[in-house]
Amino acid sequence: MSSDTQDNKILIAASLTTASALAQALYIYFKNRNPDVETEESESSTSMVDPAYGESRFITRIDAVQRASVISNLSYKIAVSLLKGGENFHGQVTINFNLSYQGYHLSLDYTGKEIKHLIINGHVVSDKTAFKDHKIYLQRNLLHLGQNEVKIRFVSAYVKDCQGLHYFKDPQDDREYLYSQCEAADAHKIFPCFDQPDLKAPYELLVFAPADWKVMSTKASSKISTKEELGFQQSILKFSVNHELYDLFGDEPFKAHEFPQSQKLSTYLYSLMAGPYEAIVDEDQTEIPQRVLCRQSLTEYVKKIAQTWFKVSIKCIKFYEKFFSTPWPFDKFDHLFVPDYNMGAMENVGMVIYTESYIQRDEVFTRDKQQGVLVTLLHEISHMWFGNLVTMKWWDDLWLNESFANFISYVCLDQADGLEEYDLAWSIFLSENFWGMEEDQQSTTHPIAGSCANTEEAQNLFDGISYGKGACFLRQLFFYFGDQVMRDGLQTYFHKFAYKNTVLNDFLTELGAAAKRLGIKEDLVDWSYSWLKSSGINIISYEYDLNDQNEILEFRVIQDLHHNGQNRLRKQKFVIALLDDNMQVIEEVEAHTSDKSRVTVIHGLAGKKLPQAFFSNYRCYGYGKFKIDNRSLKAFDEKLGLIKDSMQRKLLINTLNEMLKDQELSGSQFLGILKKHLKTETSDSVLSSSLQSYIPLYHEVFVLIVKDLLGSGRFENKTTLHLLVECAINAARNDEDVLVIKKWFDRRRFTLLDGAVIEHIEVSTKHLHSITKRIFSSFSIPQEEKDNYLDKLAEIDSSDWTQQTKYYCSSAIPTVANKQKLWSQYFDQDIEWQYSNYQYSFIGFNQVIHRHLNEDFVQAFFQRIPEIFKKKGRFIAESYFHYLQPDYLVDDENIQRYRDLLKQVSDGSSDNSHFINLIKNMIDDLVLQQKGKALSADYLESIKHL
């Protein structure tokens, strides 16, 4: 069928008749010539529902491999009606594909409410069992070799858990917004499709939406028309749309938005965004049209950052174009901030979405946070090449997308012309290293190049190994082989595989060939495999011999294997810095490890005078647990603050924390070093990581901040002051401390313990929220007074922040009756909240200071949590687990509860592999904490008495 021919007929008709008469004529014309357009009666007779709707299902690699082996020349033509109200949306999809073999029982993926009709090559399918288990089975006798057409009229549900087409109603103005999130495999919750990355296809899209809504997708819309306009008729004919699809709007005004055919892309990169979003257009840039969009109530904040996003994006695109020797592969670039989102961002082609927590509302971001947000922007932009232009074949190679995007975004922030003002790239990168190391030491660790049999297991790969460790591997590859290898290899990689799919070998073959062209003798492919195909972390220590003059005779690096993972010796190169008495770097020496021998002699250090301290893995080029010798530890204990570079101080504090975990340092030793050090620390980044991550001693931290740090008067920088008071508010858990911060709310001024006002800083709306939460958690403040604070807050701020705080506060009321009421709500009632409200409610409920109120729920948690994983979506179930579990009980009895739970749910089926991993990680954590208990009894004892 040629749409051109149809268009011509309509154009002629349109010149002869009125719009409504034309619509009628078109319908009759269309109905007569196309038997696929059913009457409503015949549709209801073929209507199908999936008996397994509401249960979780996944797509297997076996199915995906079979389908990809027989399907080609695939395309989708989608029409949807997006209705207000948050319930359902309706659509029709026409799928064309070439079939080369008829031996498989072919199916489409679809998790939807209803199929109104299914037509295969013109035959209406009436067998209602064709739709089951989230699949639409395509009867073999109706398909034929060569080109096929499947047409489906469907009804799908909006979601509130960010897996599909997410619905959000803004509590501030009641406006409704939609956005799609399809990765890993949720496109089939929006429309029926072959939902796997290697069946790339072009998409055409027609959307009927309320008249005041914008609609966005991969491409810019080519036509927006009302029902009365000629374009409307052309669109419905082109998409073979039956009137009943838009009749759903009744009297409500609506528009049709038509989008031209996209480039070939994987289903997980498909996007559909709609709602009365506000758009800020980049007026200066014409090469790549950019817009920043957000919900209307956030416009004033987004306007402040839009120009930065435009500027940084263009500089970054120019950098990548040069680095990859491949031009920006798509047309426009929309940035959309979305509410209630469970991730940082998603790289939909030309239509990237970001969490609203990247927008600075009435709050102050530290420089780390500001630049960290930009790193995410650069990460998503790199995906346009890595992931969107060239895509992994199956989820096993997710790391090809994520490790690379993660690593290159830091290279870009560090090196791109015009981004010199952002100077924290490698300091922020440390969080990737810490994240990778943390997960690599757990029993659930896996190789960077993972393996997954289905899309449920694929979700497990979105973790610290694929993102953090993978990025560290690439940083090491850069350092080991030089960045030219990467540049040369990627050029050929992108040219060879544009708009196609790849596996690990394709990537390494191109890098290996580039290494050979550059005259590098070492086998890059072998070297890479040693990192990518085995899991686990190496422990790297050192020892040395001295002569009488305190000069180094021999310096040996020793490589040991961590007990978790399928560990092996690996070759890597890193830097050891020699520090003098004032912690200044005397010299940096390159060191390395071998894959053949546990011990490596570092000849470059022979003959050097013994320094005051060795700093192993200086600048963090290496990946592993790098140890500190006793002499150096003593020096760092006394003089850590003298190390000039804040990135190195942050790295060192994490190394000390790792030593604490390994029981090489006691809790009091560790805290002693930190406390001493915090008295001189000035970097926001080091302050925040020290205060937030390492000292769960609430009252002590509160006093330390409000008395010692803020009282010292040495901080004038606004962002540091904001950071410190935010940490203090979070640490205010006992009644005495809450009374102090309650006054901060009343007076809208921060004060020290002696009442002196802290200058240079005012109480922000964000602070008022944090203070209100602490007031509600308190045991001593009367409920009526608590309610007054919440009322005052609601008067000041009517945004979704207040809605979230209300969820927190209502579950934070510290009475047994309240906790019991909530527990029953969580587990016995079929609640359907917005995604983030679950978290706020759970965190308010399960506070450590309320643990004596929650004693009855400890056992109940283990009894009820398996059913949550059966009936709730993955992300919401994960919130139940993370935020309601009794992870504060570090004893044999509680560890045994987790072990029993693991036994109960390990029934051999792989569809709960994610749940199993969560339990295993928790057991690892608790066992580790318990081991450290004896050595750190003093430390843990003080945590107990909050």
Q: Applying CB under 5 A, which residues contact Zn ion?
A: 402, 405
- Token look-up 């759970």 returns 842
Provide the minimum distance between the beta carbon of 313 and Zn ion in the complex, in angstroms, as a whole number.
Answer: 16
Provide the minimum distance between the beta carbon of 544 and Zn ion in the complex, in angstroms, as a whole number.
Answer: 42
Measured from the CB atom, the residue of 472 and 589 that comes closer to Zn ion is 472
CA dist 275 and 210 (Å) reads 8
Provide the minimum distance between the beta carbon of 379 and Zn ion in the complex, in angstroms, as a whole number.
Answer: 5
| 82 SS3 class | coil
The full length of the chain comes to 946
Q: Which two tokens stand for residue 796?
A: 């000041």
DSSP annotation string for 473-527: HHHHHHHHH-HHHHHHHHHHHHHHHTTSEE-HHHHHHHHHHHHHHTT--S-HHHH
Measured from the CB atom, the residue of 405 and 724 that comes closer to Zn ion is 405
Q: What angle do CA 251, 7, 21 make, to 5 degrees?
A: 40
Provide the minimum distance between the beta carbon of 348 and Zn ion in the complex, in angstroms, as a whole number.
Answer: 11
Provide the minimum distance between the beta carbon of 405 and Zn ion in the complex, in angstroms, as a whole number.
Answer: 4
Q: What angle do CA 147, 148, 153 make, to 5 degrees?
A: 150
Find out whether 567 and 561 touch, Cβ atoms under 8 Å.
Answer: yes
What are the strands of the beta sheet with 131-132, ordered from one edge?
A: 107-109, 135-137, 131-132
Provide the minimum distance between the beta carbon of 181 and Zn ion in the complex, in angstroms, as a whole number.
Answer: 13
Question: Which residue of this chain has its Cβ atom nearest to Zn ion in the complex?
Answer: 405
Measured from the CB atom, the residue of 400 and 540 that comes closer to Zn ion is 400
Provide the minimum distance between the beta carbon of 376 and Zn ion in the complex, in angstroms, as a whole number.
Answer: 9
Measured from the CB atom, the residue of 459 and 802 that comes closer to Zn ion is 459
Find out whether 625 and 600 touch, Cβ atoms under 8 Å.
Answer: no
Find out whether 400 and 528 touch, Cβ atoms under 8 Å.
Answer: no
Backbone angles phi, psi at 275, to 5 degrees: 145, 175
Find out whether the peptide bond into 184 is cis, omega within 30 degrees of 0: yes
CA dist 738 and 746 (Å) reads 12
Find out whether 480 and 573 touch, Cβ atoms under 8 Å.
Answer: yes
Give the strand pairing for 123-124 and 114-120. antiparallel
Measured from the CB atom, the residue of 405 and 865 that comes closer to Zn ion is 405
> Which residues are within 8 A (CB) of 760 and not within 5 positions of it... i.e. 6 or more apart?
716, 718, 721
CA dist 857 and 156 (Å) reads 36
The closest of 508, 541, 542, 537 to 525, measured between CA atoms, is 508
Measured from the CB atom, the residue of 272 and 378 that comes closer to Zn ion is 378
Provide the minimum distance between the beta carbon of 347 and Zn ion in the complex, in angstroms, as a whole number.
Answer: 6
CA dist 728 and 912 (Å) reads 39
* Amino acid sitting at position 664: E
- Token look-up 């288990």 returns 133
CA dist 741 and 725 (Å) reads 10
β-partners of residue 878 are none
Measured from the CB atom, the residue of 460 and 912 that comes closer to Zn ion is 460
Provide the minimum distance between the beta carbon of 461 and Zn ion in the complex, in angstroms, as a whole number.
Answer: 12
Measured from the CB atom, the residue of 80 and 405 that comes closer to Zn ion is 405
Measured from the CB atom, the residue of 397 and 402 that comes closer to Zn ion is 402
Measured from the CB atom, the residue of 402 and 797 that comes closer to Zn ion is 402
Provide the minimum distance between the beta carbon of 344 and Zn ion in the complex, in angstroms, as a whole number.
Answer: 8
Q: Which two tokens stand for residue 283?
A: 């007026």
Provide the minimum distance between the beta carbon of 406 and Zn ion in the complex, in angstroms, as a whole number.
Answer: 7
Find out whether the peptide bond into 732 is cis, omega within 30 degrees of 0: no
Measured from the CB atom, the residue of 386 and 939 that comes closer to Zn ion is 386
Measured from the CB atom, the residue of 278 and 402 that comes closer to Zn ion is 402
Measured from the CB atom, the residue of 410 and 915 that comes closer to Zn ion is 410
Provide the minimum distance between the beta carbon of 881 and Zn ion in the complex, in angstroms, as a whole number.
Answer: 24
Measured from the CB atom, the residue of 358 and 869 that comes closer to Zn ion is 358
Provide the minimum distance between the beta carbon of 712 and Zn ion in the complex, in angstroms, as a whole number.
Answer: 41
Q: How far apart are the first and last CA of the chain?
A: 73
Provide the minimum distance between the beta carbon of 372 and Zn ion in the complex, in angstroms, as a whole number.
Answer: 14
Burial class (CB in 10 A: 0-12, 13-18, 19+), 547: exposed
Provide the minimum distance between the beta carbon of 383 and Zn ion in the complex, in angstroms, as a whole number.
Answer: 6
**754, HSE (Cβ side, Cα atoms, 13 Å):** 6
The three state secondary structure string of 549-589 is CCEEEEEEEEEEECCCCCCCCCCEEEEEEEECCCCCEEEEE
* Amino acid sitting at position 567: N
Measured from the CB atom, the residue of 405 and 651 that comes closer to Zn ion is 405
